[in-house]
Amino acid sequence: MAMDWQARLKEYLAPRTQLVNAALEDYLSEFPPLPRVLPEAMRYAALGAGKRLRPILCIAAAEALGGAAEQVIPTACAIECIHAFSLVHDDLPAMDNDRLRRGQPTVWVKYGEAMAILAGDALFAKAFELLAEQARLSPPERVAQALHLIATASGIHGMCGGQVEDILCEGQTISAEQLQFIHAHKTGALIRASVLSGAILAGADAAQQAALDVYSRALGLAFQIADDILDETAPTEQMGKPAGSDRAHRKATYPALFGLEGARARAQQAKQEAIDALQPFDTRADPLRWLAVYAVERTH
């Protein structure tokens, strides 16, 4: 059974990851001769060997409702640009001060801090260019709803808000509620926006959106708890980024609060909540089910 979902997910991911990578390559090749360096830094940040989880979730949610990957590709790529921007800024000396990402030097190490900040800013702006492109493929009211979701997930009510609390809680003893806030905002918000934007663009009704809201929140939590566990247990070579980084920065994590076994149990619980939320959907939602299992079973 384990190999079954893995093989099927691998088969599902291959063409869609290729589609996302080709589209990103295309979108990030349209630059003028000036300015120098910045386009290269943007491409380095966004085109590396990432999992492409968020754009795939956008596509999988659209397909679960009968949509096609090609119909949501601008939005899927916009979300990946926002994710890349967040990682570039996360790695900066003022934040996590990480020198390695996806097995390569981080953007600030390779291009300098100023260029890394600007590359992140430019990727964030590029995302909204791509969301405007989506209006050529989808009804304007759906695009507006998706855009609002993604923008909200990126700012004070999402990633930025979660990152602030993450920074303020370093080295402190925090409650389970505070930890859940950090994870739900820093990581979960963009995962939720990825799923819901794909569903909305494919015409999801209120009940379908509600079910996918539950799914995406649980998935985001499962994914981040698994990240916390991997930071404690996986070697640097396997992770592609420094092992033990969370502990070194005295970050608020599930293993720190609940221990490794407690964290694993909570990840499994969140995974099951995500899968259960998909009961109203038919087999077209199977990739979303496999991705929930992958979120906690992955090794990097």
- Domain containing residue 26: 2-297
Report how many helices (DSSP H) and strands (DSSP E) the chain contains, helices first. 15, 2
Per-residue DSSP letters for 209-228? Answer: HHHHHHHHHHHHHHHHHHHH
Contact 214, 287 (CB under 8 A): no
pLDDT at 239 over 70: no
Environment class of 53 (CB within 10 Å of its CB; exposed 0-12, middle 13-18, buried 19+): buried
Q: Could you tell me the pTM of the whole model?
A: 0.95
Distance CA 123, CA 28 (A): 9
Around Cβ 176, how many Cβ atoms within 10 Å? 11
Put residue 171 in one of left, alpha, beta given phi > 0 → left and psi -120 to 50 → alpha: left
- Spatial neighbors of 90 by CB under 8 A, at least 6 apart, are 96, 98, 163
- Provide the token pair at 50: 């990432």
Considering its fold, how many domains does the chain have in total? Answer: 1
Q: What share of the chain in percent tops pLDDT 90?
A: 85
pLDDT tens digit sequence for 66-122:
999 999 999 999 999 999 999 999 999 999 999 999 889 999 999 999 999 999 999
Q: What share of the chain in percent tops pLDDT 70?
A: 94
Around Cβ 140, how many Cβ atoms within 10 Å? 9
User: Once rounded to an integer, what is the mean pLDDT over residues 34-44?
Assistant: 97
What pLDDT was estimated at residue 247? 67
CATH number of the domain bearing residue 208: 1.10.600.10
Between the alpha carbon of residue 142 and those of residues 62, 136, 260, the distances in Å are 12, 12, 42
pLDDT at 237 over 90: no
Between the alpha carbon of residue 80 and those of residues 12, 21, 73, 195, 215, the distances in Å are 19, 10, 11, 13, 20
